[in-house]
């Protein structure tokens, strides 16, 4: 019997065109034995939630560098709830000011990874929250 793998959707919400960090995290999660779906650049919250539901993921990783985190991330959380998919664990990473972190976590985002976070820390955080 094969063990069920953790399924993670990695997404780049908004008009952010830099995806190197998202690709590094996606690779680290794959190397750690997780299944990863990468949606690519410039995704709307609606596209992200639709893909997460369709792919039946356990977690969503949102990479954002554009400064629109206080608009896009709450919208993803709202849409997940609206779709009845608020059991999907959501993580975020990128350029997010310290003063915004508590508000985003209060919305249900499990962890926020800032520049300098190791890939091992991201893998451990997902494993610590998600049971396949």
Q: Dump pLDDT digits (tens) for 23-67.
A: 999 999 999 999 999 999 999 999 999 999 999 999 999 999 999
Specify the CATH architecture of the domain 7-129: 3-Layer(aba) Sandwich (3.40)
pLDDT (tens digit per residue) in 118-127: 999 999 999 9
Please determine, for residue 17, whether its predicted confidence score (pLDDT) is greater than 90: no
Domain ranges in the chain are 7-129
E strand or H helix that includes residue 93? strand 89-94
Beta bridge partners of 94: 64
Full DSSP string of 3-61: PPPPEEEEE-BTT----HHHHHHHHHHHHTT-EEEE--SSB-HHHHHHHHHHHT-SEEE
Report the C-alpha gap between 26 and 32 in whole angstroms. 10
The C-alpha atoms of residue 129 and residue 111 are separated, in whole angstroms, by: 10
Indicate the pTM of the whole model.
Answer: 0.96
Residue 108 has pLDDT above 80, yes or no: yes
């Amino acid at each position: 019997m094969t063990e069920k793998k953790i399924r993670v959707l990695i997404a780049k919400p908004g008009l952010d065109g830099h995806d190197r960090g998202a690709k590094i995290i996606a690779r680290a999660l794959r190397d750690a034995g997780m299944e990863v779906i990468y949606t690519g650049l410039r995704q709307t919250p609606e596209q992200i939630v639709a893909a997460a539901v369709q792919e039946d993921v356990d977690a969503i990783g949102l990479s954002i560098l554009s400064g629109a985190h206080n608009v896009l991330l709450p919208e993803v959380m709202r849409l997940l709830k609206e779709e009845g998919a608020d059991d999907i664990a959501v993580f975020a990473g990128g350029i997010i000011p310290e003063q915004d972190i508590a508000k985003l976590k209060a919305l249900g985002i499990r962890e926020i990874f800032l520049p300098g976070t190791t890939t091992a820390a991201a893998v451990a955080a997902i494993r610590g929250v998600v049971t396949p």
